[in-house]
């Protein structure tokens, strides 16, 4: 596997898959169903081309953008009133320190064995982008996945429509089944709490809308913009303790 940011076989596979789906949809499915010379055919081809271009653009940014480096001068301030919680080691209770990188770890930062360095707000290392998904590219990775899902469903509708239109009139389409691959993400702390029969609330879980705002920004009109940047410094994050309760506790 190449170093982060380098073109690898999984990256070429993703680009090949995008190209294959684009060719099948625009040059086979649409002509078979609507025709590329009709207004409906041209409109659908233009919309799908825009979606495919958005997928490639956001994918390229997710591959090439640095996921976030820990500032060289970072030192946790345990007396900082703006940080309601501090992450410590499970053994000993000391502040989190990376022995391999020789510096303290900000909240939610982790050391990646593939990238060989600590990454801010590290989610996971993705082989399909040969890069970590972290603070700096989390938003663009999420937007890429959203564009890919929309384009996949759009392509599926056009391909099924083209296949049904191409069937002889005296034949009926057979039943078929498709599988959808879903990315699951688990939190070890939640799993351990549920295993012990305890309730667990992740301190960085602000709710669906606030979680999206923390990644994509407060301006909803810029959420799907491929050039949108991340927010915050990557060394401090809002927690559920920062959000005032809407109703007094019972």
Q: What is the pLDDT, as a whole number, of residue 208?
A: 81
Quick one: which of 37, 47, 211 has its CA closest to 138?
211
Confidence tier at 58 by pLDDT (50, 70, 90) = very high
Under 8 Å between Cβ of 4 and 114: yes
Calpha distance 240→197 (Å, rounded): 22
What Rg value do the Cα atoms of the chain yield, rounded? Answer: 23
- Is 222 tagged catalytic? no
In DSSP terms, 125 is beta-bridged to 132
**Mean pLDDT, range 171-186, rounded to an integer:** 45
Under 8 Å between Cβ of 30 and 45: yes
Percent of the chain exceeding pLDDT 70 equals 71
Q: What is the pLDDT, as a whole number, of residue 24?
A: 95
Q: What angle do CA 111, 113, 117 make, to 5 degrees?
A: 45
| Residue 209, both tokens | 């809308």
pLDDT tens per residue across span 148-175: 999 999 999 999 998 888 776 554 545 4
Q: Which of 55, 115, 118, 126 is catalytic?
A: 126
Quick one: which of 14, 4, 117 has its CA closest to 70?
117
């Amino acid at each position: 596997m190449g170093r982060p940011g380098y073109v690898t076989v999984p990256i070429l596979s993703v680009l090949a898959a995008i190209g294959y789906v684009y060719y099948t949809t625009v040059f086979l499915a649409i002509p078979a169903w609507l025709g590329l010379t009709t207004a409906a055919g041209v409109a659908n081809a233009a919309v799908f081309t825009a979606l495919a271009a958005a997928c490639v653009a956001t994918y390229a940014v997710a591959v090439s953008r640095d996921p976030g480096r820990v500032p060289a001068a970072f030192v946790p301030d345990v007396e900082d009133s703006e940080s309601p919680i501090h992450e410590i080691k499970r053994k000993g209770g000391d502040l989190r320190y990376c022995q391999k990188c020789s510096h303290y770890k900000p909240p939610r930062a982790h050391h990646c064995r593939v990238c060989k360095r600590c990454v801010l707000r590290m989610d996971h290392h993705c082989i399909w982008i040969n890069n970590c998904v972290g603070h700096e590219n989390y938003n663009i990775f999420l937007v890429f996945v959203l564009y890919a899902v929309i384009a996949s469903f759009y392509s599926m509708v056009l391909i099924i429509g083209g296949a049904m239109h191409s069937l002889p009139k005296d034949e009926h389409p057979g039943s078929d089944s498709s599988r959808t691959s879903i990315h699951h993400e688990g939190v070890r702390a939640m799993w351990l709490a549920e295993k012990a029969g305890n309730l667990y609330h992740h301190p960085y879980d602000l709710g669906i809308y606030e979680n999206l705002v923390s990644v994509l920004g407060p301006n909803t009109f810029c959420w799907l913009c491929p050039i949108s940047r991340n927010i915050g410094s990557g060394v401090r994050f809002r927690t559920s303790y920062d959000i005032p309760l809407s109703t007094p506790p019972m």
